[in-house]
Amino acid sequence: MTQVPHLIEVRNLVKRFPLGGGLFGRSDKAVHAVSDVSFHIARGETLSLVGESGCGKSTVGKCLAQLIPLTAGEITLDGKRIDGLSRAQLKPVRKRLNVVFQDPFSSLNPRMTVEDLVAEPLRSHGMARSRSERQNRVGDLLEQVGLPREAMARMPHQFSGGQRQRICIARALASEPDIIICDEAVSALDVSVQAQIINLLMDLQKSLGLALLFISHDLAVVEHMSDRIAVMYLGRIMEIADRESMFRHPRHPYTRALLSAVPLPDPGAARDRVVLTGDVPSPIDPPSGCYFRTRCPMATERCASEVPALREMAPGHQSACHYAESV
Ligand SMILES: Nc1ncnc2c1ncn2[C@@H]1O[C@H](COP(=O)(O)OP(=O)(O)OP(=O)(O)O)[C@@H](O)[C@H]1O
């Protein structure tokens, strides 16, 4: 029996940014932004990608959205390669896969009305051809994200940050995509507004059967909305698991450290605090073996010589630690 491919499959993704300099402006050095990253996203599923700033989350999102070329690896959508396509070949892919970025202030052209902003993808994909059809659809989309239809006549600066992010979401929904990549989409918002936008995304996901790749540096933010979580460190996935398994029984010392910093809902509850010492090493010259070893309380000589593979510790729960059994 042939296996049905997942909506998204990322295999052995590598992204390096070559550095200038050296003789003739060339250099062999590069920023190792993403190293050998593999994961899948099922239809209607939320996968969250978490880790500290600079660990390569956005780069994964940009590679997935085909905004930057891959150095190596492959990405498929419903089993078909989407990396390395021409502009024209990418057009139908862009209809199915959209991105919402962190900053709702710079993502919206300040000189366009909300109607034009939300209708732009409809026009570009030849979806609602007449003006009245487009207006109807824009009105429906605005209502879907919790804004009044009348908002279409206004300009982006007339809205708050949370409302602008709703406009960005309406725009991302316009082409009826299968997946939306939310790159730190709530990070610039106040905590109460963050919760509203997360609830909106969860509602939309349920009602539309959308898949989400939710990128965030904050484990507390992703806890409630994720089906699965992948933890990244210095361009590699350290651990990937379903939400419950990840929070209940983390199998990587880095995840344990991240989780120990997440405030517990019950202030009386105890959790061992794991404080990481030292800085994240430079992605230009990452450590040998396990990238986390220079800050890991469990590191041994083996960790300096052998890159730990992601190993299955429980169904669907993989950890890239030689000592995952003892974490
Ligand atoms: N265009 C670029 N040229 C050179 N280096 C880059 C480029 N884009 C990203 N990087 C580097 O790649 C690494 C990964 O960056 P990335 O933005 O993907 O991390 P991130 O986890 O999303 O962090 P943040 O949340 O701060 O954006 C970082 O070291 C960053 O400086």
pLDDT per position as a tens digit, 157-209: 999 999 999 999 999 999 999 999 999 999 889 999 999 999 999 999 999 99
How far is the C-alpha of 16 from the C-alpha of 25, rounded, in Å? 17
Q: What is the pLDDT of residue 24?
A: 63
Residue 274 lies in a domain: yes
Amino acid 2: pLDDT: 64
Residue with tokens 């105890």: 270
The answer to whether position 163 is within a domain reads no
53 ligand 1 Cβ < 6 A: yes
The pair of structure tokens assigned to 196 is 């509203």
State the ipTM, two decimals.
Answer: 0.97
Per-residue pLDDT at 221 exceeds 80: yes
Alpha-carbon gap, residue 276 to 301, rounded angstroms: 19
Residue 253: inside a domain: yes
Strands, E, within 51-159: which ranges? 72-77, 80-81, 97-100
Span from the CA of 126 to the centroid of ligand 1 (angstroms): 34
In a domain, 39, yes or no: no
Whole domain around residue 297: which residue ranges? 247-327
Ligand 1 centre to CA of 174 (Å) is: 29
Number of Cβ atoms within 10 Å of the Cβ of 310? 21
C-alpha atoms less than 13 angstroms from C-alpha of 152 in its C-beta half-sphere:
21
pLDDT at 224: 86
Token representation of residue 108: 């919206």
Atom of ligand 1 nearest to the CA of 60: 18
At 23 the pLDDT is: 60
Say if ligand 1 is within 6 A of residue 283 CB.
Answer: yes
Percent of the chain with pLDDT over 90: 81
Task: Calculate the alpha carbon distances from 43 to 28, 98, 289 in Å.
Answer: 40, 15, 34
- 306 located within any domain: yes
Number of domains within the chain: 1
Residue 27 has pLDDT above 80, yes or no: no
**Given this model, what pLDDT does residue 1 score?**
55
Q: Which residue has its alpha carbon closest to ligand 1 atom 20?
A: 54
Q: At what angle do helices 161-173 and 131-144 cross, to 10 degrees?
A: 130
172-184: buried (b, 16+ CB within 10 Å) or exposed (e) per residue? bbbbebbbbbbbb
Reported as half-sphere exposure (CB side, CA atoms, 13 A), residue 72 has a value of 9
Residue 278 lies inside a defined structural domain of this protein = yes
Residue 43 located in a structural domain:
no
pLDDT of residue 320: 98
Any domain includes 315? yes
Nearest residue (CA) to ligand 1, atom 14: 56
The residue nearest atom 7 of ligand 1, judged by CA position, is: 17
pLDDT confidence of residue 104:
72
Mean of all residue pLDDT scores within the chain: 92
Q: Is the CB of 55 under 6 A from ligand 1?
A: yes
Give the sheet arrangement for strand 30-41, strand by strand: 30-41, 8-18, 72-77, 80-81
For residue range 250-303, list pLDDT tens digits in order: 999 999 999 988 776 665 555 667 778 888 999 999 999 999 999 999 999 999
Tens digit of each residue's pLDDT (9 = 90 or more) over 29-72: 899 999 999 999 999 999 999 999 999 999 999 999 999 999 99
> What residues are paired with 213 via a beta bridge?
47, 181
Buried b (16+ CB within 10 A) or exposed e, 135-153: eebbbebbebbbbeeebbe
pLDDT tens string 67-99: 999 999 999 999 999 999 999 999 999 999 999
CA distances to 99, 132, 133, 170 from 140, in Å: 20, 12, 11, 9
